[in-house]
Structures are given as C-alpha cells and as structure tokens.
Amino acid sequence: MRKHKPMSFDELLKDLQGQKTMQQDPDHVSLDELFNETFMRKHSGFTSFGDFLEKGNFQAQTQEDIQNIPDELFDRHVDRETDFADWKSMLDAATTNHAGKQ
C-alpha cells in the first residue's frame, strides 16, 4: 500500500504533466474535491474554493491558473481570508486531509 505524503502544488502539477486528460489519472484530485465545502467552512468563511477565489478577484479554473497567480498576492489573500498563513500551508493541509479520507 502506497503511503501518501503531502504534495506541493508544483509536485502535483509535475505529477499531472504527461497525462492525456485529467480524467485518465486516477490520482488526480480536483480543486473542488481537495478544497471541499467541509474544508472551506472549517478554515475560512467560504463554502467553496470558487467563492474564495472570487473574493480575491482571482480568475482561476485550473491548477495551472492558480500557479500563474503571483505568490505574494495569493499568500496575502490566503492569510487574510483563511486560518492559514500562506498558500502552501493551505494546500498541504487540504492534501493531508484528502489523503486521510482515502
């Protein structure tokens, strides 16, 4: 049995590269699944990751879109709107949370 460790966003993107489609990758987790309603309610005042992005005026539909947001801006938004200090902390917690449910 493979043990899951928290994956950084860059590692996740590298892992997904080369896949013909995200649906063909059984390990792919959508942003909505990773940052589900329960997670978002627990760590922020939002019920969805989309609402969280919208509040920061970020236009992001994919993980690549999020990677293209300047780190400083996104970290500031995460710090202001969630109980995490930065994006990496939020992503690591969501990844760990999701892996624990598998």
Residue 24 has pLDDT above 60, yes or no: no
More confident residue, 87 or 6: 87
In whole angstroms, what is the distance from residue 62 CA to residue 29 CA?
11
- The one-letter code for the residue type at 13 is L
pTM of the model: 0.71
Residue 17 has pLDDT above 50, yes or no: yes
Closest listed residue to residue 90, CA positions, set 24, 102, 56, 59: 56
Cross-strand pairs, 82: 44
Confidence at 29, pLDDT banded by 50, 70, 90: confident
Other C-beta atoms within 10 Å of 11: how many? 12
Q: For residue 98, what pLDDT is reported?
A: 87
In whole angstroms, what is the distance from residue 40 CA to residue 46 CA?
6
Residue 3 has pLDDT above 60, yes or no: no
More confident residue, 43 or 4: 43
Distances (CA, A) of 21 to 11, 14, 31, 44, 59: 17, 14, 15, 31, 22
Closest listed residue to residue 27, CA positions, set 17, 36, 37: 17
Residues 41-82 have pLDDT tens digits of 999 999 999 999 999 999 887 778 888 999 999 999 999 999
